[in-house]
Amino acid sequence: MAARRAASTTADAGDNPVGPGSGPHAPTARTSGPAGPGTRAPNIRSQVSLALREALIIGRIQPGRSVTLRGLAEELGTSPMPVREAIRGLAAENALDVSVSGRVAVPRMTDRKFGEILDARMLLEPQVAVLALPFLGKADVRRLQALDDEIDASLGNGDVEAYMRLNHAFHFAIYEAAGSEVLLPLVESVWLQFGPFMRMVYGRVGTRMLVDHHKQAIAAIGARDAAALRAAIRADIAEGMQLIGEGIGAAGTT
Amino acid sequence: MAARRAASTTADAGDNPVGPGSGPHAPTARTSGPAGPGTRAPNIRSQVSLALREALIIGRIQPGRSVTLRGLAEELGTSPMPVREAIRGLAAENALDVSVSGRVAVPRMTDRKFGEILDARMLLEPQVAVLALPFLGKADVRRLQALDDEIDASLGNGDVEAYMRLNHAFHFAIYEAAGSEVLLPLVESVWLQFGPFMRMVYGRVGTRMLVDHHKQAIAAIGARDAAALRAAIRADIAEGMQLIGEGIGAAGTT
DNA sequence: TGAAGGGATTTGTGATCACTTAATTGCAGC
DNA sequence: GCTGCAATTAAGTGATCACAAATCCCTTCA
């Protein structure tokens, strides 16, 4: 990350898409060493899984990109073993695609799958937001406003990756307040599935014409208006996904 | 060991809950040998995962029951390795609970979790059913009727395990027709989460007072009536879950 | 009789290895 | 120059091992 990555146009190979920006051979798998006494030294698998999840949600890995055990292991400075389990977990969430021969890749988008994702988001996310509403206080409203300001800034300077990360943070700052053990993982699974595609489309068409409904959502939360919050989330999903959906024909099944 | 293990009534250890009913040392992990030429010899992990999924959906494993890698591996006649990956996948779907120390167990039910599962089912399943409606023909209706007859029979003779299996088969015979890549896995994940608890409740209160709305659903499918199908599924979920929900206080967090 | 301590066992984790199969590449033949 | 085949490489899979941590059980002492 020190030096910005050279633009690579090859679709199926290239430099490391995952990893928080540190060098490829940085000892990410650090369990020993002077970790904080409060931190319980999470296992390597969790770190791999987290890195992969973020890479998918941010869209740092392109759809169709193949993910190899040994490659990812070397990239993260560990053995293939934790990667295997992490990949297995992501595959169970349909965030990664395992072919019949066992090869693992980021799934490509299809128009029907896109429609299903839109359906799932429209069903789940407004409901989760409404469930979260009673738990959202003034501090949360301020935090959401700050996030939305950052989002506007990222849209202004065309930083797609920052937008992806911040948009996810905004939505899940709302959803997580519900403390949902069942619904939230379902929403996460859906986001993992459309993240890479969303990123690819934004990378091509840009984020300039993107209109979100975050301010309406913030206002609804501040007013404790469940109906307005539901409507804002619905509108946000509908408009955002419509913009992305237009990219399917151009870039979807490539 | 060859003989059946003595029946143990302790909640946290005992005989094999998983496995298709064959002997504990049946060579489930058969990759060599004269397999059919068409079958591509699915890997052991898939078999382990399938066995676990069925055990959870049927409710053959009790909530709170701990699942150990080596134990399950020996039970299925394989090494711990495929079990590890299968468990990791199930854990990613929230079908299994991994404690901070890494111990794996079937999650226990809580009232709030139960409410969320009800929410998720009410949101997803009617929608999936309606999406499947255009793909359901007369042959499917006959198949559903046959399944429902079997369900009635299982209710009559109090065969809880058969009921669990058949009820799942009935619902997913409808849902799977939609060919959904996104929504169906979400529904599956939810079923995996309440299967063990449902089974436990039915095992205690019996299935006698159970009323389903399968016949209305079949009629709605036959009439191609989306609204009626949606209503039937909603009613089926609501009534079934209400009966189960009454068991939370008695047996939920034990 | 109860609790606390310690040792033995269990269990998950990460690494490595051997094996099989699927891609890929290179080469020969047409 | 293109096609088809074969050798090579790459990659997933299952097994085994070493290790650390957690759990369990048994002993011992108050």
More confident of the two residues B103 and B22: B103
Q: Are A183 and A128 in contact (CB under 8 A)?
A: yes
Q: Are B160 and B207 in contact (CB under 8 A)?
A: yes
**pLDDT for residue A244:** 84
Beta-bridge partners for A97: A105
How big is chain B, counted in residues?
254
The whole-angstrom distance between residue B23's C-alpha and the CA centroid of its chain comes to 21
| Maximal CA-CA distance, chain A | 53
In sequence order, which residues have a C-beta less than 8 Å from that of residue B11 and are 6 or more positions away? B62, B64, B65
**pLDDT for residue A102:** 92
**pLDDT for residue A32:** 36
Smallest CA–CA separation between A58 and chain B, in Å? 20
More confident of the two residues B208 and B145: B145
* Counts of helices then strands in chain B (DSSP H, E): 9, 3
| pLDDT tens by residue, A119-155 | 999 999 999 999 999 999 999 999 999 999 999 999 9
What percent of chain B lies above the pLDDT cut of 90?
73
Mean per-residue pLDDT for B145-161? 95
Mutate to test the interface with A, among B93, B110, B186, B188 (most CBs of A within 10 A): B186
| pLDDT tens by residue, B76-95 | 999 999 999 999 999 999 99
More confident of the two residues A219 and A7: A219
**pLDDT for residue A234:** 98
Q: What is the nearest nucleotide to B72, using C1' and CA?
A: C11
| pLDDT tens by residue, B112-126 | 999 999 999 999 999
Residue B77 CA to D9 C1' — how many Å?
33
B48 Cβ nearer than 7 Å to chain D strand? no
Distance (Å, whole) CA B29 – CA A4? 48
Distance (Å, whole) CA B120 – CA A28? 37
| pLDDT tens by residue, B45-73 | 999 999 999 999 999 999 999 999 999 99
Minimum Cα–Cα distance from B121: chain A residue: A183
Question: Two tokens at B190?
Answer: 């939810």
DSSP B181: S
**pLDDT over 90 (residue A10):** no
DSSP string spanning A192-223? HHHHHHHHHHHHHH-STT----HHHHHHHHHH
Distance (Å, whole) CA A113 – CA A96? 14
Of the candidates A166, A175, A168, A160, which has an alpha carbon nearest to the alpha carbon of residue A146? A166
A43 Cβ nearer than 7 Å to chain C strand? yes
**pLDDT over 80 (residue B133):** yes
**pLDDT for residue B216:** 97
Of the candidates A146, A120, A144, which has an alpha carbon nearest to the alpha carbon of residue A132? A144
Of the candidates A98, A47, A100, A111, which has an alpha carbon nearest to the alpha carbon of residue A75? A47
Reported as a pLDDT band with limits 50, 70 and 90, residue A208 is confident
Interchain CB distance below 8 Å, A182 and B116: yes
Which letter, b or e, does each residue of A72-87 get, where b requires 16 or more Cβ atoms within 10 Å of its Cβ? bbbbbbbeeebbbbbb
Distance (Å, whole) CA A83 – CA B84? 12
What percent of chain B lies above the pLDDT cut of 70?
81
| Chain B residues touching residue A85 (CB < 8 angstroms) | 84-85, 88
More confident of the two residues A27 and A101: A101
Mean per-residue pLDDT for A167-177? 98
B14 Cβ nearer than 7 Å to chain C strand? no
Burial class (CB in 10 A: 0-12, 13-18, 19+), A136: buried
**pLDDT over 50 (residue B142):** yes
DSSP string spanning A121-185? HHHHHHHHHHHHGGG--HHHHHHHHHHHHHHHHHHHTT-HHHHHHHHHHHHHHHHGGG--SSHHH
A183 Cβ nearer than 7 Å to chain C strand? no
Question: Two tokens at A66?
Answer: 């193949």
Minimum Cα–Cα distance from B107: chain A residue: A181
| Chain A residues touching residue B122 (CB < 8 angstroms) | none
Q: What is the nearest nucleotide to A84, using C1' and CA?
A: D12
Q: At B133, give phi and psi (nearest 5°).
A: -50, -45
Q: Which long-range contacts (CB under 8 A, 24 or more apart) does A21-25 make?
A: A24/A74, A24/A75, A24/A77, A25/A77
Interchain CB distance below 8 Å, A185 and B94: yes
Minimum Cα–Cα distance from B40: chain A residue: A100
DSSP string spanning A27-80? -----SSS--SSS----HHHHHHHHHHHHHHHT-S-TT-EE-HHHHHHHHTS-H
- Protein-contacted positions of strand D (CB under 7 Å): 10-17, 21-23
Q: What are the structural domains of chain A?
A: 44-105 (1.10.10.10), 111-251 (1.20.120.530)
Reported as a pLDDT band with limits 50, 70 and 90, residue A8 is very low
In sequence order, which residues have a C-beta less than 8 Å from that of residue A225 and are 6 or more positions away? none
**pLDDT for residue A246:** 76
Mutate to test the interface with B, among A116, A121, A175, A197 (most CBs of B within 10 A): A116
Share the mean pLDDT of chain B.
Answer: 85
B91 Cβ nearer than 7 Å to chain C strand? no
**pLDDT for residue A42:** 78
Distance (Å, whole) CA A239 – CA A211? 7
Q: Which long-range contacts (CB under 8 A, 24 or more apart) does A65-73 make?
A: A65/A11, A65/A12, A65/A17, A65/A105, A65/A106, A65/A196, A66/A12, A66/A103, A66/A104, A66/A105, A66/A106, A67/A96, A67/A104, A67/A105, A67/A106, A68/A104, A69/A104, A72/A18, A72/A48
Question: Two tokens at A134?
Answer: 């009673």
Residue A42 CA to C12 C1' — how many Å?
13
Mean per-residue pLDDT for A216-220? 98
| pLDDT tens by residue, B5-59 | 333 333 343 445 675 443 333 333 333 333 344 455 679 999 999 999 999 999 9
Could you tell me the end-to-end alpha-carbon distance of chain B, in angstroms, rounded to an integer?
A: 30
**pLDDT for residue B166:** 97
Mutate to test the interface with A, among B40, B116, B117 (most CBs of A within 10 A): B116
ipTM summary value: 0.87
More confident of the two residues A26 and B177: B177
Mean per-residue pLDDT for A68-81? 95
Residue A32 CA to D19 C1' — how many Å?
13
Reported as a pLDDT band with limits 50, 70 and 90, residue A225 is very high
**pLDDT over 70 (residue A28):** no
SS3 at position B101: coil
Residue B217 CA to D1 C1' — how many Å?
64
- Protein-contacted positions of strand C (CB under 7 Å): 10-17, 21-23
In sequence order, which residues have a C-beta less than 8 Å from that of residue B13 and are 6 or more positions away? B66
